């Protein structure tokens, strides 16, 4: 088990120039570099002047949970406050024009095809190296080859290829579009433990990525870490106690496959946003 408290983590501005604008993030937990379901979970906040990105896609999966505001993820398309979006690998979205003050929890992780996820440290090192021979602007990396020919490439693709040393490949899309879910439209289902209810929003791909919420009544305990893959819990409401320490809003917990049961006791009515990463 690992835990990271957003309350004790400062917002830091992203160092990369792959996109334009101000995006501040609290990096809460990261997985194991090189593993097929390596991941990063963070809380992001759009700063003064907003943040923009062109239409693009990734070779990894993303889950976005809007905490405050609405996320304009494409032309005329918005993910409202409180909603959850599953952004599958290889599926295009954008252009984005995020407004100032937007807050989201984002989890990026290796998708079902097994291409993995490049860590922040690897990506930023590549970004700095690429800037020695070209520039990033409006999400595009531009450079000139030895013959003076101009090249444009998506900023993320350029960084990925610099890290891996080979061309970025995309799996055939498993979905034709993003999957947007309104948790308020789902019902709470009691679990076997008194005072604990859940709502699973969906299961995705043959690797069984699962998204949902857990609600724990005050004084009740939830047995975490009983899934067959890595389980991530993001505390979206309330407060819990674990081994004598209290954890509050926007704390993230990581449990390895079948690590539990690990009891998390609710001090007050508590809700967790729950992600079970793909099984490899």
Q: Give CB contacts under 8 A, 24+ apart, made by 179-182.
A: 179/85, 179/86, 179/88, 179/204, 180/79, 180/83, 180/84, 180/85, 180/86, 181/83, 181/84, 181/85, 181/86, 181/211, 182/80, 182/82, 182/83
For residue 169, count CB atoms less than 10 angstroms from its CB and return exposed for 0-12, middle for 13-18, buried for 19 or more: exposed
List, for residues 234-279, the tens digit of each pLDDT value.
Answer: 999 999 999 999 999 999 999 999 999 999 999 999 999 999 999 9
The verdict on domain 180-276 having CATH code 2.60.120.10 is: yes
Residue 140 corresponds to which tokens in the numbers above? 């595009």
| Interatomic CA distance for residues 24 and 19, integer angstroms | 13
| Model pLDDT, residue 17 | 47
| Interatomic CA distance for residues 219 and 205, integer angstroms | 36
Class of CATH domain 2-116: mainly beta
Say if residues 122 and 40 touch (Cβ distance below 8 Å).
Answer: no
Q: Does this chain's domain 2-116 share its CATH topology with 180-276?
A: yes
Which of the residues in the chain have pLDDT under 70? 10-22
| Interatomic CA distance for residues 88 and 76, integer angstroms | 20
The structure tokens 């793909």 sit at 278
| Model pLDDT, residue 14 | 52
| Model pLDDT, residue 12 | 59
Task: Classify the C-alpha dihedral 208-108-81-193 as positive or negative.
Answer: positive
| Model pLDDT, residue 123 | 81
Q: What is the pTM of this model?
A: 0.88
Domain limits, the chain: 2-116, 120-164, 180-276
Q: Quick check: bond before 95 cis, omega within 30?
A: yes
List, for residues 56-84, the tens digit of each pLDDT value.
Answer: 899 999 999 999 999 999 999 999 999 99
| Model pLDDT, residue 218 | 98
Name the residue among 183, 188, 174, 189 with its Cα closest to residue 85. Answer: 183
Question: CB neighbours of 207 closer than 8 A, spacing ≥ 6?
Answer: 111, 112, 278, 279, 280
């Amino acid at each position: 088990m690992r835990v990271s408290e957003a309350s004790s983590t400062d917002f830091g501005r992203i160092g990369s120039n792959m996109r334009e604008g101000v995006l501040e993030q609290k990096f809460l937990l990261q997985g194991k570099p090189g593993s097929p379901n390596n991941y990063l979970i963070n809380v992001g906040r759009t700063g003064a002047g907003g943040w923009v990105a062109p239409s693009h896609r990734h070779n990894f999966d993303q889950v976005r949970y809007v905490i405050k505001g609405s996320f304009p993820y494409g032309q005329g398309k918005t993910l409202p406050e409180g909603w959850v979006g599953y952004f599958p690998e290889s599926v295009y979205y954008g252009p984005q024009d995020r407004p100032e003050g937007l807050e989201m929890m984002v989890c990026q992780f290796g998708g079902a095809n097994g291409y993995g996820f490049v860590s922040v440290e690897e990506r930023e090192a590549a970004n700095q190296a690429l800037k020695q021979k070209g520039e990033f602007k409006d999400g595009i990396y531009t450079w000139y080859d030895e013959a003076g020919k101009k090249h444009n490439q998506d900023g993320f693709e350029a960084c990925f290829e610099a890290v891996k040393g080979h061309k970025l490949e995309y799996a055939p899309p498993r979905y034709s579009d993003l999957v947007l879910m309104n948790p308020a439209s789902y019902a709470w289902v009691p679990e076997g433990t008194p005072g604990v209810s859940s709502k699973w929003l969906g299961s995705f791909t043959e690797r069984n990525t699962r998204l949902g919420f857990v609600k724990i009544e005050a004084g009740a305990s939830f047995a975490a870490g009983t899934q067959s893959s890595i389980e991530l819990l993001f505390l979206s409401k309330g407060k819990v106690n674990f081994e004598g320490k209290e954890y509050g809003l926007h704390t993230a917990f990581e449990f390895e496959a079948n690590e539990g049961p690990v009891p998390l006791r609710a001090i007050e009515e508590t809700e967790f946003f729950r992600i079970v990463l793909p099984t490899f």
